Amino acid sequence: MFRSLWAYRGFILANVRRDFQQRYTHSLLGGLWAVLNPLTLIVIYTVIFAGIMHSTLPGHESSPFAYSIYLCAGLLPWNAFADLVGRMQGVFLQYGNLIKKSNFPRSCLPIIVALSVLVDFTIVFSLYLLFLLFSGNFPGWVILTFAPVFLIQWAFGLGLGLLTATLNVFFRDVGQFVGVILQFWFWLTPIVYSASGLPAPVRSSLWLNPLYPLIEAYQGIFLLQTAPNWSGLLGIAVLAVALLWLAGRLFLKLAGEIVDEL
C-alpha cells in the first residue's frame, strides 16, 4: 500500500491542489478566502472574549488575551480533527464514480482528504502564530513540541476517519452517527471551559477522553509556554497507531467489496 501511495504521489498532490482550487472557483476573492475565514474566527474570539466579555482563566486574570489564546489553542486543532473525520467518513461515497471508472489505489483517497485538511490547518495555524507574535505571547522554542503532538492527533484522526469511511460504505448510518458523536465529543472536551472548573469526579474521568491529553498539551504550549507531558501522551500515541493499523487492515480486506457495493 505504501509503495502504491508513493507511486501515485503526483495524482495525490494534484487532487489536493484541485480540491483547494475548486472551493474558491468563481469567487471574486478566490484563495484569499482561505485566509479571511480563519482570520475572522480568531478576531471574533479575541474581540468578544477578551475585549467585550473579559473572560479570564484562573491564574491568568492579568492577561487580556489569556482566554483567547486558551480557546484557540484547543479549538483550532479540534476543528482540524473534526474536519478530517467528518470529511473522511464520506470519501468513498463522494468519489464513488471515480472509483468505479478508474483504476488507481483506493488508499489515495483518504490521503488526499488528510492532506487537504492539513493545508487548511496550516493556513489557520500560521495566522494564530502571527496573532501570538504581535500580541507578545509567542511561546518561543517550546513551539517546536507542537509538531509531534499534532502528528499524534493527525494519525488518530486518520485512523478513525479511515475506519468510519470503510464502514460507511456498507452501513450508511455510520456517517450520521459520526456527526452526532463529534458534537458530544466537543463539549465533553475542555476547550471552551477549563478542566480545573469541573467537579472532581468529572475531572478524574477525563482520561477516558482520548483527545483530552492532546488538547491539554496544546493549551500548555501556547498559554503556559511549557513542553507537554510526554508520558501522558503515550497512551493516545499507542491508541493512534493501533487504530490506524486496524483501520488499514480492515480497508485492505474490504477494498474489493467497496467497489462492488458502490
At which residue does the C-alpha cell 471552551 appear? 192
- Tally of domains in the chain: 1
Q: What is the pLDDT of residue 16?
A: 86
Statement: the pTM of the whole predicted model exceeds 0.95? no
Per the structure, the complete domain to which residue 33 belongs is given by 2-261
Q: What is the pLDDT of residue 51?
A: 61
Torsion angle (degrees, nearest 10) of CA 13, 19, 21, 26: 160
- Percentage of residues in the chain with pLDDT exceeding 70? 85
Per-residue pLDDT of the chain (262 residues; tens, 9 = 90+): 778 778 878 888 888 888 777 776 666 655 566 667 667 776 777 677 666 555 566 666 566 778 888 888 998 999 999 999 998 888 888 877 777 777 777 788 889 999 989 988 998 898 889 889 988 889 989 999 999 999 999 999 999 999 999 998 888 788 788 888 999 999 899 988 888 878 888 888 888 899 999 999 999 999 888 999 999 899 999 999 999 999 989 988 887 787 777 6
Q: What is the pLDDT of residue 84?
A: 93
Q: What is the pLDDT of residue 155?
A: 94
Asked whether 64 and 50 are in contact (CB, 8 A), the reply is yes
Q: What is the pLDDT of residue 95?
A: 77
Q: What is the pLDDT of residue 246?
A: 94
